[in-house]
Structure 1
Amino acid sequence: MTGSGPSAYLQVAEQLRDRIASGEYPPGSQLPSLADLRAQYGFSHGVGQSAYRLLEQEGVVLAKQGRGYFVRDQEPPRPLVRHAGATGPDTTGLAEQGVTPSWRSQSTTEAASPAIAERLGIAPEDPVMHTSYVYLVDGEPGYLAESWEPMAVTGQALIVLPEAGPYSGIGIAARMARIGIEVGEPVEQVSARNLTRAEAQALTLLPGVPALAIRRTHYDRATGRPVETADLVLPGERWATRYGRPPGA
């Protein structure tokens, strides 16, 4: 049993650090749960949480929401590049980087919030198709997206559901082309912030992890009308966004 008092979590962290360094817990392996630590060392869950939090800050441990604590691979993951201006899931670009991309999605109709209505140039409460995406990289959650399309644009067409029906999964440009709308490259606004609790849970990460937040809007080139707007959230430690391509690329 470790000693008690304010330094107890430091003692536990040191013992865990030594066990990791000795190879007892190799990179990628799961570490004892808080209940297991309490049984092994005889202290409260709070001490175990503090020990793991310290090891997280040191870059030794990775916490995965709902799954527990794991030994962090000291080789950082190879950054993935998202090509800005891609009009749908950049499956080709990701495949070229040696990963297998896929996604999960769910679509619902809803009334546009004031903020979304402003971005789409419609009235608040006008109906929109809202689609939530979890994009997977080699089967693991890689990034998130929320997309909104005005039902006034797509509601009477077979393209109304982005990921269902005869035109599912072909991307915004190809879908809009089916109803005679040509979209150009989207307008994107990129900022940095931390993951929310809900975003972190969907990505099996901890809240507060730095992320790229991208606000993207596609426009009808003929009329200038917005036809889709989306919010993309990419964990900063894994992703970079590239704008433009070299000649001939």
Structure 2
Amino acid sequence: MTDPAYVSIAGEYARKIRNGELPPGIQLPSYAEIATRHGVSDIVVRKALDLLQGQGLVRSVRRRGIFVSDRPNLVRISPERQMESAETTFSNESTQQIQVDRETESVPATDELAGNFGVTVGDELTHVVTRASEDGRPISISDTFQPSNVSGISAATDLEEAIADQLPTPEHAEWLGTTPGDLVKTVRQRFMTADGQVIMISNISYPRDRYDSFVFRMKLSADA
């Protein structure tokens, strides 16, 4: 699936910032210049720049414009990034070679998973393990579970996340190359429908130093 134009534009500028082509403090082109260069509307440009600001890569100075942050950091934003593939997400974060591998299998529901999904213990679930590396260095591993009759998260209306520093599972520790006793940054996600039905659970581990911060962002109803 082709990325939205604003994601592609943001990714282009993110790579230029992180590889030093656009150094800290330099001003980005105006909205109009970016729109003309990419053949898009000002609205698309605004969304791209909002994404870059959310990632901590640029800052807005009133009446002056958009500037590269003095210390461009790496910020993980959710749930927007859940709409992207792992390949897109990590490629937008890095100028290095990204490799993503997935393994899919059917597994029986454990007591915990059965309780989350509202199914019977032993019912078939789809389990996907996703491993990502950057120039050969492991940067992420996740275990995702879904009932076998559910595909994707198109029916989800809510995303719940719990973030913690904790000991990784043996499989996650092996991939990330942690030593016994080392903590990793973990994110547990539950995607739910409007009636509260859980349709996907993901357990993700990152090296603790991968991100400077984590941001959760959601849309608020206009009449909320």
Please classify the TM superposition score into its range, dividing by the shorter chain length.
0.5 to 0.7
Aligned to 2:186: 213
CA 1:80–1:90 in 2, change beyond 3 Å: closer, same or farther?
Answer: farther
Of 113, 118, 126, 2:115 maps to 118
Distance across 2 between alignment mates of 1:188 and 1:196: 18
Q: CA RMSD for the aligned pairs?
A: 2.6
After the TM superposition, which residues 1-249 of structure 1 pair with which residues of structure 2 at under 5 Å, given as runs?
A: 80-85=74-79, 86-87=81-82, 88-99=84-95, 100-154=97-151, 172-173=152-153, 176=154, 182-221=155-194, 223-239=195-211, 240-244=213-217
SS of alignment partner, residue 115 of structure 1: helix
Distance across 2 between alignment mates of 1:226 and 1:110: 17
Judge conservation of contact 2:158–2:193 (CA < 8 Å) in 1. Answer: no
Render the CA deviation track for 1:39-76: whole Å, top value 9, x for unaligned.
Answer: xxxxxxxxxxxxxxxxxxxxxxxxxxxxxxxxxxxxxx
SS of alignment partner, residue 148 of structure 1: strand
SS of alignment partner, residue 140 of structure 2: strand
Distance across 1 between alignment mates of 2:149 and 2:201: 14
**Which structure 1 residue ranges, 5 or more long, are not aligned?**
1-77, 155-171, 177-181
Judge conservation of contact 1:195–1:208 (CA < 8 Å) in 2. Answer: no
Query: What TM-score do you get using the length of structure 2 for normalisation?
Result: 0.56
Pairwise CA distance, 1:196: 4.1
SS of alignment partner, residue 149 of structure 2: helix
Judge conservation of contact 1:82–1:93 (CA < 8 Å) in 2. Answer: no
SS of alignment partner, residue 105 of structure 1: strand
Judge conservation of contact 1:213–1:232 (CA < 8 Å) in 2. Answer: yes
Pairwise CA distance, 1:211: 1.1
**Which structure 2 residue ranges, 5 or more long, are not aligned?**
1-71, 219-224
CA 1:94–1:198 in 2, change beyond 3 Å: closer, same or farther?
Answer: closer
Query: What TM-score do you get using the length of structure 1 for normalisation?
Result: 0.50
Render the CA deviation track for 1:79-123: whole Å, top value 9, x for unaligned.
Answer: 643222132545444333334433111111111001111222222
Aligned residues with identical type, % of pairs = 17
Pairwise CA distance, 1:143: 1.1
CA 1:135–1:184 in 2, change beyond 3 Å: closer, same or farther?
Answer: farther
Pairwise CA distance, 1:134: 0.9
CA 1:105–1:118 in 2, change beyond 3 Å: closer, same or farther?
Answer: same
Judge conservation of contact 1:217–1:229 (CA < 8 Å) in 2. Answer: yes
Aligned pairs, number: 144
SS of alignment partner, residue 147 of structure 1: strand
Which structure has the bigger radius of gyration?
A: 1
Aligned to 2:53: none
Judge conservation of contact 1:80–1:94 (CA < 8 Å) in 2. Answer: no
SS of alignment partner, residue 104 of structure 2: strand
